[in-house]
A and B are shown apart, each in its own frame.
Chain A
Amino acid sequence: AQTVTQSQPEMSVQEAETVTLSCTYDTSESDYYLFWYKQPPSRQMILVIRQEAYKQQNATENRFSVNFQKAAKSFSLKISDSQLGDAAMYFCASAFGNEKLTFGTGTRLTIIP
């Protein structure tokens, strides 16, 4: 079975600080994609960043970057210079060689002013 696990139900960070959200996954596929989605209280699911498994270079998107460790099946999200607008539920997800997105259970991130 293909699974995505987020072990941190809740995280908090001081504004302007850096926070890392953890995600691990399990798959026997060699070709897959990993995503971080953000869902604010306004509820729209917004793509934050994506990583292709065949690429060794970690993806970055402005203040967001990932630490992709393929051998360890780990895909963490680092948010630098945290802002109040970063407060949201963050879902790690993966497309393991088919059309279905497998989601983790989410991490609720709180930003402390």
Chain B
Amino acid sequence: DTEVTQTPKHLVMGMTNKKSLKCEQHMGHRAMYWYKQKAKKPPELMFVYSYEKLSINESVPSRFSPECPNSSLLNLHLHALQPEDSALYLCASSRTVWNREEETQYFGPGTRLLVL
């Protein structure tokens, strides 16, 4: 089973709203990732969690706040977003962070976010 689930599938929010994206995996993976993807572009890495600790923040604005409550769950809290933040947000997981045998990232279906 290589399933990563994400909720919600779609989200529309105003610039003053607070919302959260959720990502879950039950593959025993210890690394989880958030990506942002604009139309017709490759995904851009935002955050990496390794063993529930934030290991990479790609200079993401503070209006995006990640959280990893446990090894299976990854949240992305959104607050005071801008219209240019509208995009597809993808979650991924891998068994570990850079291990010679287990580095493959598996992606969820994404959340389509529209900021008005």
Which of A's residues lie within 8 Å of B, judged by CB? 31, 33, 35, 37, 42-47, 50, 89, 91, 93, 95, 97-101, 103-106, 108
Contacts and interface: CB of A to CB of B under 8 A. Distances in A.
Contact of A103 (B42, B55, B97, B106): B42
A42 B48 contact: no
Contact of A99 (B40, B50, B106, B108): B50
A99 B88 contact: no
Given A100-B45, A101-B45, A103-B42, A44 B109 contact: yes
Interface of B: 2, 31, 40-43, 45, 48, 50, 55-56, 88, 90, 92, 94, 97-98, 100, 103-110, 112
Contacts of A98: 98
A33 B103 contact: yes
A105 B43 CA distance: 9
Given A43-B109, A50-B104, A106-B40, A100 B56 contact: yes
B109 A105 contact: no
Contact of B42 (A44, A46, A104): A104
B94 to A, nearest CB: 8
A99 B92 CA distance: 12
A97 B112 CA distance: 31
Nearest to A104: B42
A31 B107 contact: no
B43 A35 contact: no
Contacts of B105: 47, 101
7 contacts: A33-B103, A44-B110, A45-B43, A89-B40, A91-B42, A99-B97, A99-B103
